[in-house]
Amino acid sequence: MPESPGPIALNRDRLLENFIDMLSVDSYYGDEERVAAIIRPALAPQGIRFRNDASGNLIGRWPGRGRRDGLIMLNAHMDTVQPTPTMRPVVDADGVRSDGSSVLGADDKAGLAAIIEAIRAVDEAGLEHAPIELVITVGEELGHIGSKAFDAASIDARTAFVFDAGGPVGTVVLRAPGQIRCTATLHGRAAHAGIEPELGLSAISLLARAVDRMPLGRIDDETTANIGRIEGGQQSNIVAPTARIEAEARSLSEDRLAAQIDAMRTSVADAAADLGGSFDFEEHRFYVAYQLDENEPAVQLADRAIIAAGLTPRHVSTGGGSDAHEFNLYGITSVCLGVGYIDVHTTDEFMPHDALHDITQVAAQLITQA
């Protein structure tokens, strides 16, 4: 295997500038081209020419220098959660934070910035490196839209590194959950609430009974469940004819995930049966659980790169999802790496300068050691 060249010189000012440039444009799903317009010219001097696939994913290839083997894929996503329209990144001595009016968008623009600067730094240092394929995705936050639509046959790499996990730099995700989202609609019977309420059947009462019976929160050490939205009824003088919940369950075990969804469905069915109502229950699979062995070559490469960056690898299980779910499902062994951002998806989101530097060094080490 290639020996580590030691720490690779990074241009920290350029890294920060590129990060700020990407943070300063809105890029909800559908608007990612604003970020792509920054990425393309940033890597044009390295000879990387990008194409967009049918879903809008940005795909490029950097030929190896001195090596033809060891091809790997690097991934991060361009979209962010809302809101960001009024966001102005605030740079202080410790890092970059949101101005408090919105999320920052470090998830996942810190990952993007790290990949871009790593390629620039390796190129400028004249170091040998493996060929690199870049798959920069759209719509990750809304359910892995870009990676689900991605054609795995359109690239050659079968080992990937996804820069999109929470936790400190050095985190290596070995297990990640499957997720199923479900919608339950309870049907009662409308009536005038003031004149003949006894003729009605409140769907809200049905829903309340179902929720009261439903196992929620942390179910066990591998499984969680949550109701995120409740709606129903029409107005105060009408016994509510329908009510609806939107919920999800996640588990590192597909068997436990199936059992949890069955328990949620049973709670709804029993509540409807008890009071004489009816129900509809719909499921939507978001992603499938995966597990990597610590002896997997991709995991060992991640560990070597992290150690070469002066850090300690930390193997973890996560409760979150990433594009690694889809790539692993397609047969591309994909390791999701901790980027080091803090309080993502909140208005307190923060990216420490040291973490941004460290994850960029990890990316550069991956490129040179692949």
Angstrom distance (rounded) from CA 130 to CA 52: 23
Before 270, cis peptide (omega within 30)?
A: no
Q: Which residues contact 225 (CB under 8 A, 6 or more apart)?
A: 214, 215, 216, 217, 219, 247, 248, 249, 250, 260, 264
Q: What is the residue type of 236?
A: S
Number of Cβ atoms within 10 Å of the Cβ of 266: 15
Q: What is the residue type of 93?
A: A
Look-up: residue for tokens 């990407």? 22
79 noted as active-site residue:
yes
What dihedral do alpha carbons 43, 48, 49, 51 form, nearest 10°?
A: -90
Choose, from 26, 32, 79, 358, the residue flagged as catalytic. Answer: 79
Candidates 89, 130, 112; CA nearest to 42 is: 112
262 noted as active-site residue:
no
Choose, from 123, 133, 140, 222, the residue flagged as catalytic. Answer: 140
Angstrom distance (rounded) from CA 79 to CA 321: 15
What SS3 state is found at 167?
coil
Active site residues: 79, 140
